[in-house]
Structure 1
Amino acid sequence: MDDFAGTQTPVRRLTDPAEAITALELAVPGMTSLRLPTPRVIDWPALEAELGVALPVDYKLLCELYPSFVIGDFLGVGSPEPGGETGWVQGTREELETIAEWCEEADLAVPLHPFPTPGGLLPWAVSPQGDFFLWSTNPTDPQEWTVTVASRSSVWWHYTGGAVQFLADFVAGVLEPWALPRVRAEVVAW
């Protein structure tokens, strides 16, 4: 049986993408050493058209400023490479197949569904152990999307902030990790 652990809410939701990046850099000091000398130019309009939805600005800024990375040997945040936008969308669609299976098998009071179902879950990070970090794509404004965690141990939970703020709060120990390990504030390029 799957378990819904609950919802965690930040003290204040960071709506400015640059402020969210700064919070992450404070939580994970090594992030600044990975910052690219020039922001990457990702074809977001083409990627979002192929995916069928616009993505949150905090995530897009993170992808432009940093290569794909892993925090604490646990949480991997992949990003599209310039010119590789189609491959990134295809990889996301493959992950959505797994998420669809998990949603079907989950015995949650409020059923969850994968994207492109309206309000569906869309992956943005993974762990090597098979945990998924997802956006809840409801409401329709991506700047208001929240995070849903689906752990390999069948514990699901929500965080009412954005993805980059989630990373900062998770690493800083502000969040109860509910079925996830605590992670060290270390980062390496993926």
Structure 2
Amino acid sequence: MIELTGWEPLGISVDWAAIEGELRVPLPADYKELYEAFAGGVFSDSVYFLGRDEGIAFDFLTQWRGDLSVDQDGRYGDVSAVDPYSVYAPGGKGLVTWASTEWGDQYCWLIDTQRPDEYPVLARAEDNEWRRYDMSTSEFLYRVLADADFQPFGIAQYDLGTTFKPACGDDE
């Protein structure tokens, strides 16, 4: 991803023990590398990557906490924004969003504390159908950005370039 985008890695320091302690599950190693190199921001003016953002727009934990709160709010009944799944709750099984697009695509991991070393990517496009990819976070993201044939998610066909713009930290 660094070579693809020409990005200079930030090398930010992250308290993974605190983040993974709150989630009660380890996160994928390659995601942690992406997080430390890029923090949060936008790839190719289209793919919103969640990492660390001192604002809230691209902050991974802030987004997960909000998703979980809405998913568990009884006022909405048993309907989940990620049907037929649920948002991951600590110690259980469910989806955690790590990126989305301006077109409404959503990229998540299916996290199951009974299978702590497996992080399949579940993604859905405008047709609202979930698709499972047994590949790493970075491979999935690379294919989205560079593989025009990776449909329905590949954006290379739109000639948007392979850039990265960090989150400002001031935008909310």
Q: Determine if the TM-score, normalized by the shorter chain, exceeds 0.5.
A: yes
1:69 to 22, 41, 58: 41
- 1:132-143 matches, cutoff 5 A: 132-138=106-112, 140-143=114-117
Q: Percent identity?
A: 23
Quote the residue 1:115 is aligned against: 88
Quote the residue 1:172 is aligned against: 146
> When you count helix as a share of all residues, which structure comes out higher?
1
Take 1:175 and 1:113, find their aligned partners in 2: how far apart are those partners?
A: 30
Take 2:37 and 2:105, find their aligned partners in 1: how far apart are those partners?
A: 25
The AA in structure 2 aligned to 1:73 is D
Unaligned runs of 5+ in 2: 73-78, 168-172
Residues 1:102 and 2:78 are matched in the alignment: no
Quote the residue 1:129 is aligned against: 103
Take 1:172 and 1:88, find their aligned partners in 2: how far apart are those partners?
A: 24
Unaligned runs of 5+ in 1: 1-23, 105-110
Take 1:125 and 1:176, find their aligned partners in 2: how far apart are those partners?
A: 16
Take 2:47 and 2:163, find their aligned partners in 1: how far apart are those partners?
A: 11
Take 2:33 and 2:62, find their aligned partners in 1: how far apart are those partners?
A: 21
**TM-score scaled to structure 2, two decimals?**
0.72
The AA in structure 2 aligned to 1:44 is W
Q: How many angstroms does 1:42 deviate by?
A: 0.9
Q: How many angstroms does 1:121 deviate by?
A: 0.9
User: Contact between 1:123 and 1:133, CA under 8 Å: does it hold in 2?
Assistant: yes
**TM-score scaled to structure 1, two decimals?**
0.66
Quote the residue 1:91 is aligned against: 63
Take 1:127 and 1:33, find their aligned partners in 2: how far apart are those partners?
A: 20
The AA in structure 2 aligned to 1:78 is L
Q: How many angstroms does 1:155 deviate by?
A: 2.6
Q: How many angstroms does 1:81 deviate by?
A: 5.2
Which deviations, in whole Å up to 9, do the C-alpha atoms of 1:33-78 show, x marking residues without a partner? 3422xx2111111111112221111111111122322112211112
Take 1:74 and 1:98, find their aligned partners in 2: how far apart are those partners?
A: 26
Quote the residue 2:137 is aligned against: 163
Report 1 or 2 for greater relative contact order, CA contacts < 8 Å, sequence distance ≥ 6.
Answer: 1
Count of aligned pairs: 152
CA-based RMSD of the aligned residues comes to 2.9
